[in-house]
Amino acid sequence: MTIIVKKFGGSSVSSIQKLKNIAKTIVLEKNSKNNILIVLSAMGNTTDELVAMSVKASKSPNPRDYDMLLSTGEQVSVSLLSMILNDLGVEAISLTGWQAGIQTDSANTSARILDINTKRIKSEFSKSRVVVVAGFQGLDSQYNISTLGRGGSDTTAVALAAALKANECQIYTDVDGVYTTDPRVCSKARKLDVLTYEEMLEMSGLGSKVLQLRSVEFASKYNVPVRVLHAHRNGSGTLIKKEEKKMEGALISGIAFTKDEAEVMIKGVKDQPGVAAKILGPIGEANIEIDMIVQNVGSNGLADFTFTVSRNTLKKALQVIDKNKKTMMYDSVSSKSNIVKVSIVGVGMRSHAGIASKMFKCLAKNKVNIRMISTSEIKISVVIDQKNLELAVKALHNEFKLEKIKK
């Protein structure tokens, strides 16, 4: 028996008519040889509206009540779709997250899935029903409704697919797959047929908004094949799966970038063991995430220490540095917010040398100055001035011939 998990979100569930369109596709796919489980997000701007209501009701909402409120959005979606399917002659049942057996920890607004009891879902499958589950939510050990945070419905779908050992988890979005880069920046960007979990993890972590990072982590951990598809157009989409030897053929699979970068340079710190801990310790304690780090070799016993943070935490980082000046012992601090990070990603880097050199020569040829560099096994990232973003992405896309890539 085939089990397929389908997740719909974004604009695909923004109206009753669009829910009816989803139902029509399910009617065509449902037969005696397959079981279908559907995970839905809230309709349109419902979640934003619920958040706005909570702000009007309370200056500081209780997290438990806040989760209780936000979880209602998805419950509306699944109830309506189940009604529509039953009217079309397909027996269906809607379930909340906890009715579907999703058990979480007690971290309100950002709960983690601990376990899934699939007994209820399998019971409904045995009755040939389509199961429609509310995404983004579960139940903690104290029987409190919890929500999973940003991208929670994607995570719900992948987690259910893993628990049910589904043949595939299909994520329906507003795009028809994962592209070599953002088509709005580079018109030559093309859809990828296949990506590895590692590549998708890197691209999600670097700003690709097709899939949320947590859902890809879940898929990788439990080896769940995930296919990204367009909600309103036919197509094969992009399949994300475990790496195979033949997948090493392409050197680079894609170019990702993030505009949410800011640079902090601390000049004149003592060039001695422990200086990094003195600087990064207070930053970390302030819950500020640091991305790239460079410590320059100094002279006269002094060095410069540079790192990047997200733009929305730059002000806080500078305040922490100023507050700890006596401990950090530096001469001056400067910052720059008009920067971006551009990364090339591909499992082919493992077996091919010279990729970094090719990237740097390409940027130099196009007069794009590199401010910082970081690497991993399948990724090379550079920080550049924001004004050069489009130029850099297009140049690298051409250099690695990504418009011709076959994966």
| Pair 171, 211: CB distance under 8 Å | yes
Strands 254-270 and 290-295, sheet pairing: unpaired
Q: Which residues contact 273 (CB under 8 A, 6 or more apart)?
A: none
Give CA–CA dist 166/217, Å, rounded. Answer: 17
Give CA–CA dist 101/116, Å, rounded. Answer: 5
Query: For residue 130, what are the domain limits?
Result: 2-174
Quickly state the pLDDT bin for 398 (edges 50, 70, 90). Answer: very high
Least confident of 35-39, 59-63, 337-341: 59-63
Number of H helices, E strands in the chain: 13, 18
pLDDT per residue as tens digits for the range 153-177: 999 999 999 999 999 999 998 888 9
CATH number at residue 33: 3.40.1160.10
The answer to whether position 116 is within a domain reads yes
- Cα dihedral 383, 388, 389, 395 in deg (nearest 10): -100
Q: Which residues contact 350 (CB under 8 A, 6 or more apart)?
A: 248, 377, 378
Instruction: Give the chain's domain count.
Output: 1
Give CA–CA dist 101/155, Å, rounded. Answer: 14
For the residues 52-72, what does the mean pLDDT come to? Answer: 93
For the residues 1-19, what does the mean pLDDT come to? Answer: 92
Q: Which pLDDT score is estimated for 331?
A: 92
Residue 1 or residue 147, greater confidence: 147
Q: Which residues contact 79 (CB under 8 A, 6 or more apart)?
A: 94
Reported residue count of the chain is 407
pLDDT per residue as tens digits for the range 257-289: 998 899 999 999 988 888 899 999 999 999 899
For the residues 120-138, what does the mean pLDDT come to? Answer: 97
Q: What are phi and psi of 359, to 5 degrees?
A: -65, -50
H/E stretch holding 86 reads helix 72-87
Q: Which residue has the tokens 């449902």?
A: 30
